Chain A
């Protein structure tokens, strides 16, 4: 088509309108991509459905997950009379039941009433108290305080040697820098330079069970996931419930409340049941085996209640164990005195777990951070 024909503007209008639909459906499409889409259609046949479909899919999607969303939006926009605005994806609210205050152990009051010393400690070191307090018993104000504590807690994987080399006082000889230095001294290598493999933290993969039985803890744990993801580093986060959802991207928003809202929007099975074995299998199949779990520290937050087939869980944990550097299992129930891993899922998974922690309060999350960073071989 010769340049200057007045085909372009109408196509661009349509592209922009379609872009709005895609954004409404949750796809990230920038203006640059829409311009690209308009240009692409001009090279194709705008009157042919498939040409428009492929031009759009090739220019506007960038992940396999986008394709399903794109297909829905495409149908809605181009095939239902055109230009119809979509209903926004139903927002799923993250419902975390507030602890029922009537059955809460009256810890605080007891402490205050029984001894003046306790009351003093409570007043002067609220952080210390909070560190030991069970997440399930947190008040809204305490969640706000937790946010501040979490900001200082960094989750960084155990170190491993990278294949990237860096200058070092000793190590392997570095001819490139040695010779470069020699240029300045008339070709005489006066000083020899060395380099060695850089060390870098291993990837950390967080799998957080968001099923109903974990609800008292998922609010705090999701905040922990968020704080870990925004602090940077090699981190990936997934939620597990009846299915597996990758939530790393949703959690990257700085503002914790917005991030959690977005996460809740992406996770569709919050507070449903868990099919732990299936979810872990899905993780290993779709992500882990391809490389995400290889040499990584994998942390699973779950109480081990599995509504699926427990033998699946055992098999998948074994598979995961062969890929991962270390598997840490965090189960808030473990904090209860006399806890025994009676849940069938927990019992099946434990033989493949390297570190078993409770994660029910801040102090145990600190312990988790240490376990994740620890370099000892299993």
Chain B
């Protein structure tokens, strides 16, 4: 069956038929997505296509997969890519130690039938499944969410292999045969762009580039994720990080840093941002010495200035 004629096989959560409804669901699970991201996730689920997410570190790429698994009430299967990752770490591996024991046991208990012993050796029970095989073998009302994290860290050979899996959602194990997914998993790929991922792989996927959130959205995110932070503090923190992003830093803070920072401030009992507090907690938002220096040179007071008592006017 061609994909085009089977438009209904998508994995949308029950009761969601519009991207806005999906946006509401995401929000109920503490994830604030703008229109572009909601649309991207919606289409990926509806069309059954992997979603390729790029963006600066800390904008919430990995979080998308986590929240989706909560919404769909289905397991999250995560494959963290790294240089040198291969099929044995990503798909399956035979449990050789157990196979060996099996042979020994067969010998000890008089299993002369050599052929049968060998056949049994490559039984499913001796196969250790790694994330990709787990995702394909999953059976349940909803397909699992498969997060392929930081795919840019793997190498060309592995990328070519991924392309195959994401095209067919099947893998062939020579000794056992082909394992095919009942329904394609909800695949989310993320990349930090340490290198350009091959076009062929990207062509299999829908693509979305996640930007830093707008000021108002970031305030909302902080309020949602750090409920103990007061509105005023949330606005001050969001305004200060927004300023930092224009400061030409080596590593401008992402949403993750904004949240870390707010948590640090809340832990210190802060209700309002001032220069002293910024100085004490700068390490939780700026993680390069040069960046901290640059912020200090620009004047930490400037980060909290203009915020007054009421927070920034939107």
Contact = CB atoms under 8 A, between A and B. Distances in A.
Interface in B6-51: 7, 19, 35-36, 39-40, 42-43, 46-47, 49
User: Taking each of B46, B52, B196, which has the highest tally of chain A beta carbons within 10 Å of its own beta carbon?
Assistant: B196
A30 interface: yes
B207 A289 contact: no
Contacts of A165: 84
Given A28-B199, A163-B84, A179 B96 contact: yes
Given A40-B47, A186-B103, A292 B195 contact: yes
Given A44-B39, A292-B195, A163 B83 contact: yes
A294 B192 CA distance: 14
B152 A291 contact: yes
A32 interface: yes
A9 interface: no
A64 interface: yes
A36 B49 contact: yes
A67 B103 CA distance: 59
B202 interface: yes
Interface string B69-108: 0000000000000111010100001101101100110010
A20 interface: no
Contacts of A164: 83-84, 86, 155
B175 to A, nearest CB: 11
A185 to B, nearest CB: 10
A48 to B, nearest CB: 11
Given A50-B35, A179-B99, A187-B103, A59 B206 contact: yes
Contacts of A375: none
A294 B83 CA distance: 13
Contacts of B209: 61, 64, 67
Contact of A179 (B4, B100, B208): B100
Interface string B200-226: 001100111100000000000000000
A43 B43 contact: yes
A35 B4 contact: yes
Nearest to B83: A163
A206 to B, nearest CB: 15
A182 interface: yes
Size bracket, chain A contacts: 35 or more
Interface string A275-310: 000000000010101111010000000000000000
A275 to B, nearest CB: 15
Interface residues of B, number: 48
B121 interface: yes
A63 interface: yes
B4 A176 contact: no
B35 A54 contact: yes
B164 interface: no
Contacts of B49: 36
A3 B7 contact: yes
Contact of A39 (B7, B39, B93, B196): B7
Nearest to A43: B46
Interface string A226-241: 0000000000100000
A182 B121 CA distance: 12
A88 B298 CA distance: 44
Interface in B164-211: 192-196, 199, 202-203, 206-209
A35 B203 CA distance: 12
A204 to B, nearest CB: 13
A109 B182 CA distance: 78
Nearest to B40: A58
A197 to B, nearest CB: 9
B206 A58 contact: yes
A63 B194 contact: no
B206 to A, nearest CB: 5
Contact of A62 (B5, B103, B194, B202): B202
Contacts of A67: 209
Nearest to B5: A3
A163 B36 CA distance: 37
Contact of A61 (B86, B100, B207): B207
Contacts of A162: 83-84
A294 B152 CA distance: 14
A278 to B, nearest CB: 11
A183 interface: yes
A99 to B, nearest CB: 37
A183 B102 CA distance: 10
B149 interface: no
B203 A176 contact: no
A370 interface: no
27 contacts: A32-B203, A33-B203, A36-B49, A36-B206, A39-B47, A43-B43, A44-B19, A50-B35, A57-B36, A58-B40, A58-B208, A61-B209, A62-B203, A62-B207, A163-B82, A163-B83, A164-B86, A175-B96, A179-B97, A179-B100, A182-B100, A182-B103, A183-B103, A186-B107, A290-B192, A290-B193, A292-B195
Which 10 pairs from chain A and chain B are nearest by CB? A291-B194, A163-B84, A179-B96, A187-B103, A164-B84, A54-B39, A62-B202, A290-B194, A58-B40, A62-B207
Interface of A: 3, 28, 30, 32-33, 35-36, 39-40, 43-44, 50-51, 54-55, 57-59, 61-64, 67, 162-165, 175-176, 179-180, 182-183, 186-187, 236, 248-249, 285, 287, 289-292, 294, 319
Given A54-B35, A64-B209, A163-B82, 11 more contacts: A3-B5, A3-B7, A40-B206, A175-B96, A179-B96, A182-B103, A183-B100, A183-B121, A187-B104, A291-B192, A291-B194
